[in-house]
């Protein structure tokens, strides 16, 4: 569990509740597990026992823990959280956020519309491949793969509220920054969850860590991939390809860009098609070997 952060403006009992809640949500504390005694938790967090009691009360009201006679506190079964009918579920905010991100499947990447592509990929489709590219680049660069992929997956999450604005149009509008939008999107979540998403967005936007550099490069590489695919369909995507390559920062991304620009977007299909024919021929060969001789079939 996370210790109290003196720089965190929240009251200590709220921080303690958030720390225990996060441990429950990520599986560190499993359903039915008994929490350490109050005096022990007070020592671990460096607070009074009454502060721990206040934190446990918050978790009990949310339905994350239950108390039994003798003062013991147990983690509640997450599958049957006691939620009053007139109150929201403790994870209602998380569910709402996930529904909101589903809206990204209906938002088209606006830059390609300017090129005349009638049905360009959605923001969600773009984000999926950005995450996969992030895994590739993070591995090559020695960055944290999980954190990089997480940043890639939600890097355009704010577009569920403001839409996808092409780079050429950003000089003409003023909108809330992604960090502020993320704060609004996750405000109803448990503190540990909201901070997870807000920290990822803030790190990506700040662009100061290796993981954020890789995630930003993954975004550009995905655009380069898509530009190559649209170019193969006859669209003039040279400006998109040029700006994507120019913006790359990591050596691995630059090398991957060279591989993309020197190859064909259809290169994956030939070995795929060949394998089908090879497997089919092998299956026919096995079938012939298993057939009984003609004299035995008579």
**In this structure, what are the phi and psi dihedrals at residue 207, rounded to the nearest 5 degrees?**
60, 40
Question: 287 in a domain, yes or no?
Answer: no
Question: 276 in a domain, yes or no?
Answer: no
Distance CA(91)–CA(95), nearest Å, equals 6
Residue with tokens 């259809």: 266
- Does residue 149 share a domain with residue 72? no
- Does residue 187 share a domain with residue 134? yes
Q: What is the reported pLDDT for 102?
A: 97
- Does residue 53 share a domain with residue 164? no
- Does residue 120 share a domain with residue 74? no
Question: 214 in a domain, yes or no?
Answer: yes
Q: Which strand (E) or helix (H) includes residue 40? A: helix 38-45
Question: 281 in a domain, yes or no?
Answer: no
Domain count, the chain: 2
pLDDT tens-digit readout, 47-103: 999 999 999 998 888 778 888 877 789 998 754 445 555 667 888 999 999 999 999
Q: What is the reported pLDDT for 26?
A: 74
Residue percentage of the chain with pLDDT more than 70: 92
Question: 258 in a domain, yes or no?
Answer: yes
- Does residue 240 share a domain with residue 103? yes
- Does residue 211 share a domain with residue 157? yes
Using an 8 Å Cβ cutoff, are 188 and 209 in contact? Answer: no
Using an 8 Å Cβ cutoff, are 133 and 152 in contact? Answer: yes
As a whole number, mean pLDDT of residues 194-199 equals 92
Taking CA atoms, 62 is separated from 48, 155, 231, in Å, by: 22, 30, 53
The residue among 80, 112, 139 that closes a domain is: 80
Residue 58 belongs to a domain with what CATH number? 1.10.10.10
As a whole number, mean pLDDT of residues 157-168 equals 92
- Does residue 249 share a domain with residue 130? yes
Distance CA(154)–CA(240), nearest Å, equals 22
- Does residue 221 share a domain with residue 142? yes
Question: 293 in a domain, yes or no?
Answer: no
Question: 170 in a domain, yes or no?
Answer: yes
Question: 286 in a domain, yes or no?
Answer: no
- Does residue 75 share a domain with residue 101? no
- Does residue 134 share a domain with residue 99? yes
DSSP code per residue over 63-89? TSEEE-TTS-EEEPPGGG----TTS--
Burial of 226 (0-12, 13-18, 19+ CB in 10 A): buried
Distance CA(34)–CA(73), nearest Å, equals 6
State which residues form the domain around 146. Answer: 95-269
Q: What is the reported pLDDT for 31?
A: 84
- Does residue 148 share a domain with residue 72? no
Give the least confident one: 7-21, 31-45, 57-71, 254-268.
Answer: 57-71
Residue 126 belongs to a domain with what CATH number? 1.10.3210.10
Q: What is the reported pLDDT for 275?
A: 81
Per-residue three-class SS string for 104-157: HHHCECHHHHHHCCCCCCEHHHHHHHHHHHHHHHHHHHCCCHHHHHHHHHHCCC
Residue 291 has pLDDT above 70, yes or no: no
Q: What is the reported pLDDT for 23?
A: 83
- Does residue 210 share a domain with residue 74? no
């Amino acid at each position: 569990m996370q210790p109290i952060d003196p720089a965190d403006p929240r009251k200590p009992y709220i921080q303690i509740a958030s720390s225990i809640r996060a441990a429950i949500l990520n599986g560190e504390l499993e359903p039915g597990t008994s929490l350490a005694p109050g005096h022990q938790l007070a020592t671990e967090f460096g607070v009074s026992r009454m502060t721990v009691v206040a934190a446990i009360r918050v978790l009990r009201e949310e339905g994350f823990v239950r108390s039994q006679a003798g003062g013991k506190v147990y983690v509640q079964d997450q599958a049957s959280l006691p939620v009053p009918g007139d109150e929201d579920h403790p994870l209602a905010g998380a569910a709402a956020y996930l529904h909101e991100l589903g809206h990204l499947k209906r938002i088209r990447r606006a830059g390609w519309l300017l090129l005349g592509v009638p049905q360009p990929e959605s923001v969600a489709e773009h984000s999926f491949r950005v995450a996969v590219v992030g895994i590739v680049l993070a591995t090559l660069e020695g960055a944290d793969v999980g954190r990089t992929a997480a940043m890639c997956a939600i890097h355009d999450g704010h577009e569920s509220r403001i839409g996808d604005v092409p780079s050429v149009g950003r000089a003409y509008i003023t909108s809330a920054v992604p960090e502020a939008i993320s704060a609004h999107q996750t405000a109803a979540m448990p503190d540990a969850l909201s901070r997870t998403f807000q920290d990822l967005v803030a790190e990506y936007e700040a662009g100061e860590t290796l993981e954020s550099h890789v995630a930003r490069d993954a975004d550009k590489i995905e655009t380069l991939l898509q530009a190559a695919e649209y170019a193969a369909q006859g669209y003039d995507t040279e400006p998109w390809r040029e700006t994507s390559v120019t913006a790359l920062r990591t050596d691995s991304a630059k090398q991957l860009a060279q591989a993309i620009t020197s190859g064909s977007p259809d290169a994956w299909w030939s070995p795929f098609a060949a394998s089908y024919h090879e497997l089919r021929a092998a299956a026919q060969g096995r079938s012939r070997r298993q057939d009984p001789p003609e004299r035995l079939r008579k």
